[in-house]
Amino acid sequence: MQIIQEPIHYQNPQLCMKVWKFTHTGDEHEGPVHWHYHKEVEFVLVVEGVHEMHTPTHSYRLIQGDVVVIGSSQLHRGLTPVGQDVAYIVLHIDLEPYFDPAMMHYTRHFMEVLNPLEDLNYIFRKFPHVQREVGAILYHIHEEVMQKKKGYEIAVSMHIKHLLLTLLRNDDQGLLLAHEYVDADVLRPVTAYIEAHLADKIDMSEVSRMAGMSYTYFSKYFKSKVGISFTDFVNRKRIAKAERMLAIGNKNVTDIAEAVGIENMAHFYELFKRFCGCTPREYKRKMRGV
């Protein structure tokens, strides 16, 4: 099994997104579709035909008008049934630049700290009118980017805010909850540093200095703003990276644990079971069988 970190080339770097319409016919000679992931959140709208999306935990059979969202750096793959013609719009977007002061109140849950954005797919299944609304938003974003009329950047930004607001207002399970204001200038460099140094020892003393705070104050600040402790956040990120590496199938568990900065194997197994609900071996077997 091959897994690919897919590079996303933005059509307009200022918008931090790419939107494209794909049309093709399912072919039995295409071979297996590779698992892949990318930093950007992905929205898919099926315009015509049948398309399937798979993640390690869910499978979606999408028909005309159906929408699905895939979280940041989440393993996934798309399949089109053999002989089926399909057309679908795909939006890849880095949401972070869209969190202006009015949005920062809702940053934590869109950051997927506690819940992957994939969990929001229940909204589309439960509320057909919301799925239609989000589908229309994705269609308008695609049209704006393709036509590039004067001010299309403003229009796209407005549509993205509309998309996020629609998800917020229709999340009756409370996955996207308001919380304390988060200072983006503090949190973004910290999370970026963590992502870049998962293989290393991450010292909270160093990170607190980066944030311009004392060790004790930063510890309390991080937990109050993010919802979990700094250590728990780092461990969640380490295990998420380990999941992607396990799916490759060419590294043993010990090497993967070391690659994500966890030298104690008992601790690695305990964290993996806590966050994934299964052992690394069971996870690898499940990925090969999906």
Per-residue pLDDT of the chain (290 residues; tens, 9 = 90+): 455 667 789 999 999 999 999 998 987 656 556 788 898 999 999 999 999 999 988 999 999 999 999 999 888 989 998 888 999 999 999 998 898 888 877 777 787 876 789 999 999 999 999 999 999 999 999 999 999 999 999 999 999 999 999 999 999 998 887 656 667 678 878 888 998 999 999 999 999 999 999 999 999 999 888 888 999 999 999 999 998 888 766 788 999 999 999 999 999 999 999 998 899 988 888 776 64
Domain assignment present for 13: yes
* CB-CB contact of 166 with 133 (8 Å): yes
Positive/negative CA dihedral, 134, 10, 90, 172: negative
DSSP assignment of 132-195 equals HHHHHHHHHHHHHHHH--TTHHHHHHHHHHHHHHHHHHT-TT-SS---S---HHHHHHHHHHHH
Domain count, the chain: 2
Which structural domain, as residue segments, surrounds residue 129? Answer: 3-169
Q: What is the pLDDT of residue 1?
A: 45
Domain assignment present for 179: no
* CATH number assigned to the domain comprising residue 208: 1.10.10.60
Q: Of the candidates 110, 138, 169, which is a domain's last residue? A: 169
Distances (CA, A) of 145 to 48, 74, 171: 20, 25, 28
* Contact residues for 263 (Cβ-Cβ < 8 A; gap 6+): 257
- β strands within the chain, DSSP E: 3-5, 17-25, 35-37, 41-48, 51-54, 59-62, 67-70, 77-79, 85-93
* CATH number assigned to the domain comprising residue 124: 2.60.120.280
Q: Are residues 139 and 205 in the same domain?
A: no
How many C-beta atoms surround the C-beta of residue 202 within 10 A? 18
Domain assignment present for 175: no
Domain assignment present for 176: no
Q: Are residues 25 and 153 in the same domain?
A: yes
Structure tokens at 10: 């933005």
Among residues 157, 57, 143, the alpha carbon closest in space to that of 135 is found at: 143
Q: Of the candidates 124, 141, 169, which is a domain's last residue? A: 169
How many C-beta atoms surround the C-beta of residue 74 within 10 A? 22
β-bridge partners, 88: 22, 46
Q: Are residues 154 and 196 in the same domain?
A: no
pLDDT in tens, 138-153: 999 999 999 999 999 9
Q: Are residues 122 and 151 in the same domain?
A: yes
Q: Are residues 120 and 191 in the same domain?
A: no
pLDDT in tens, 272-290: 999 988 999 888 887 766 4
Q: Are residues 118 and 165 in the same domain?
A: yes
Domain assignment present for 174: no
Q: What is the pLDDT of residue 247?
A: 78
Q: What is the pLDDT of residue 261?
A: 95
Positive/negative CA dihedral, 189, 75, 115, 20: positive
Domain assignment present for 38: yes
Domain assignment present for 27: yes
Distances (CA, A) of 212 to 14, 224, 234: 28, 17, 19
Q: What is the pLDDT of residue 21?
A: 97
